Amino acid sequence: MRHVSIKDLKAALAAVVAEAEAGHSIIVTRHNRPVAVIGPTRSANVRRGAAVGLPGLRPAVRLKAEGRVRAVLADDRNDR
């Protein structure tokens, strides 16, 4: 298990949560003493995709749309 100080946890909370979502447990320390554990949920109802915790964003809608939809998307992305 990886150890992370409270100071480092504050700076990288999203990354630590993504690591927990990926199935890893992280021990939170204060003055080098363990105070908490952050880990994955144990619920059978929680499903995570294969890309959880990986960097990079993909657009939800591509600009292959036509007509008014394309114009709105292009305007929103400042692609005109």
- Hey, where are the domains in the chain? 1-42
pLDDT of residue 30: 95
pLDDT of residue 41: 80
pLDDT of residue 26: 94
- Sign of the dihedral defined by the CA atoms of residues 58, 61, 66, 68, in that order: negative
Q: Which residues of the chain have pLDDT under 50?
A: 79-80
Q: Which CATH architecture fits 1-42?
A: 3-Layer(aba) Sandwich (3.40)
Whole-number Cα distances in Å, 23 to 3, 70, 75 = 15, 39, 39
pLDDT of residue 50: 72
> Tokens 């692609």 appear where?
79
pLDDT of residue 79: 46
